[in-house]
Amino acid sequence: MTFSSDLFTGRTIVVTGGTSGIGAASVQRFAELGARVVSCGLGASKAPAGPRIENHEVDVLVPGALEAFFASVETIDVLVNCTGVSRDRGEWAKAVFDEVMAINLTSVMDCCRLARPRMQAGSAMVNIASMYSTFGAADRPAYAASKGAIVQLTKSLALEYAQAGIRVNAVAPGWIVTPLSRALFADEAACGPILRRIPAGRWGAAEEIADAIVFLSSEAARYVTGACLPVDGGYLTS
């Protein structure tokens, strides 16, 4: 997708979970568009690097880690929350369920709360939901529950922050090739039925989610808030 190369020049973008997958693709995209990008997550030493990218090693489950990270950023023009995990059937165990909810939902609320004082009118937040926001999943109950909750959290934040001129939206990716899904993508027996249901005829790329995030963060979406944009090749329509 083509955007002006100076679209975010002079702006500071914070991407949590920006060290891999959709987060890393978003970091690279914003940097290509002129932004200063401050990224945090696990495996920061292996994250995308560049003259406009700052990577910080942050574990959202460590008490005080997010507070320390946000304290290092004076002004935020766009916050993108990409932190997320899936533990598959292990999520039926209480400890695992609680951990997934803490990472996928509670940490997102924490990031929005911590970023808010650093944002002004015209700023934007984008959260990552999922196609599982729409339907359940027997093999990942915490993931599905957390992503459904992200949609409602996004709407609540949009209502609360609208008076300050801050927009809050979400993107709901479908089947995207990322480190989390690569094994499933490579399994022809499991991937076949999925592929047949996608009208676009293919899995998506992390960069395609990043482009949707860029749109929602830009002035082109200045009248869009409280929305959840599916980016799934039409999967939910079939």
Does 3 map to a domain? no
Mean pLDDT over the full length of the chain:
94
Rg (CA), the chain: 17
Number of structural domains (the chain) is 1
pLDDT value for 108: 98
Give pLDDT, residue 193: 86
Backbone torsions φ then ψ of 170, nearest 5 degrees: -135, 155
CATH number at residue 131: 3.40.50.720
pLDDT at 183: 65
Residue 2: inside a domain, yes or no? Answer: no
pLDDT for position 16: 98
Looking at the domain assignment, is residue 5 inside a domain? Answer: no
Domain of 167?
Answer: 12-231
Asked, for residue 153, whether it belongs to a domain, the answer is yes
Question: What region does 17 belong to: left with phi over 0, alpha with psi -120 to 50, or beta?
Answer: left
Tokens of 185: 């993508």
Kindly list the distances between the CA atom of residue 158 and the CA atoms of 76, 168, 217, in Å, as whole numbers in the listed order: 17, 5, 14
User: Residue 55 falls within a domain, yes or no?
Assistant: yes
The 3-state secondary structure of the chain reads CCCCCCCCCCCEEEEECCCCHHHHHHHHHHHHCCCEEEEEECCHHHCCCCCCEEEEECCCCCCCHHHHHHHCCCCCCEEEECCCCCCHHHHHCHHHHHHHHHHHHHHHHHHHHHHHHHCCCCCEEEEECCHHHCCCCCCCHHHHHHHHHHHHHHHHHHHHHHHHCCEEEEEEECCEECCCCHHHHHCHHHHHHHHHHCCCCCCEEHHHHHHHHHHHHCHHHCCCCCCEEEECCCHHHC
C-alpha–C-alpha distance, residues 6 and 177, integer Å? 28
Rounded distance, CA 178 to CA 192, Å?
17
User: pLDDT tens digits, residue range 188-211?
Assistant: 667 788 898 999 999 999 999 999
Q: Which of 132, 143, 161, 235 is catalytic?
A: 143
Q: For the ranges 58-72, 86-100, 182-196, which has the lowest average pLDDT?
A: 182-196
The yes-or-no answer on residue 132 being catalytic is: no
Mean pLDDT of the 85-101 span: 96
pLDDT tier for residue 233 given thresholds of 50, 70 and 90: very high
In a domain, 190, yes or no: yes
Q: Which of 30, 51, 38 is nearest to 114 (CA)?
A: 38
In a domain, 218, yes or no: yes
Q: Is residue 4 domain-resident?
A: no
Residue 238 pLDDT more than 90?
no
Percent of the chain with pLDDT over 90: 89
